[in-house]
Amino acid sequence: MIIIDQTMIDRAINLIEPTAQAIFATRDLVWGPPWVHGAISVPNIPEDLLFRFGDPNPWNPEWGEIRDFAEVAKRKLELAKRLKMNTSVAINLYPWLLKEGEYLYPGGVYRDGIACGVSGAKGWVDECLAEMVVSAIIVFAHIKTDICKEAKVMKI
């Protein structure tokens, strides 16, 4: 048994989805598209997992050049994992640690071995959504271990 599995991650994403929708409805929190893409990395799952909040609509030319939010989210995730810190902290306090090709956007979160990158809204909003996803995963992990302990299942 592993503590964090795909089902737990899906539950965390589903829990945060209504908040993401409320964010998309708040015009000063997004610069254009009412959706974001994300990527998650957790211990014991070898591949990064992708997700999306909102449904991509046709691109509005007023938003400028089409952007690959999924790719930017993966890059934010990689930076957060590599430096073991939120991308906003890395960018603002340790810019000399950045490598060529890395973005100067907030939106990547790292906490206790769990990382998440989100892209599509404003950078600080991306990071807020990533924080919520990581927090939800951690809450579900604690609840799962509490249930195991209550059932006297003390070995993973």
Q: Please, which residues bridge with residue 142 across strands?
A: none
Q: What is the pLDDT of residue 13?
A: 98
pLDDT bin (cut points 50, 70, 90) of residue 127 is: very high
Taking residue 114's Cβ as centre, other Cβ atoms within 10 Å add up to 21
The predicted model scores a pTM of 0.96
Residue extents of the structural domains in the chain = 6-56+67-150
Q: Which CATH class is domain 6-56+67-150?
A: alpha beta
Q: Which of 82, 79, 81 is nearest to 91 (CA)?
A: 79
Per-residue pLDDT reduced to its tens digit, 26-85: 989 999 999 999 999 999 999 999 999 999 889 999 999 999 999 999 999 999 999 999
Instruction: Supply the pLDDT for residue 112.
Output: 97
